Amino acid sequence: MRGGMFIKRLVREAEKSMKLAITPYSDFKVGASIATKREKIYTGCNIENPSLMLSICAEKVALLKALSDGERSFKAIAIVSNKQDYCYPCGSCRQILWEFARDIDVYLAGSAGVKKYSMREILPYAFNKVSF
């Protein structure tokens, strides 16, 4: 699929997923879609819990769905929210994306268009495995 069309599809899938978010406490809905190298797309939305520490981010849902389906090679992730501004992944999501998909492109969609980053730009000082 051509680059521009692929990105539009990835953002559209993230937007669809965002509509399924369960956010009774913050009303901050987030959707994510992650594409494998073969361009298979997995989606996720954020899900809140009264104990906010048990809530889960959209990016993690999408990535974990793909990983649990046996996927190991990723191409890109798109992230959207119901707010007008860009929704950058939280620190925890940045680290898990680094661990399992460090070479992907990160697309953030907002009212001003789509921004593209590499994981190295999003997480310049990533924690890496330490050998003992």
Q: Which of 13, 48, 59, 71 is catalytic?
A: 59
Which one of 3.40.50.300, 3.30.930.10, 3.40.718.10, 3.40.140.10 gives the CATH number of domain 3-122? Answer: 3.40.140.10
Q: Is 13 in the active site?
A: no
Domain ranges of the chain: 3-122
Give the pLDDT confidence of 69-118 residue by residue, as tens digits: 999 999 999 999 999 899 999 999 999 999 999 999 999 999 999 999 99
Reported as type and span, the H/E element at residue 76 is strand 74-81
Burial of 20 (0-12, 13-18, 19+ CB in 10 A): middle
Give the pLDDT confidence of 61-79 residue by residue, as tens digits: 999 999 999 999 999 999 9
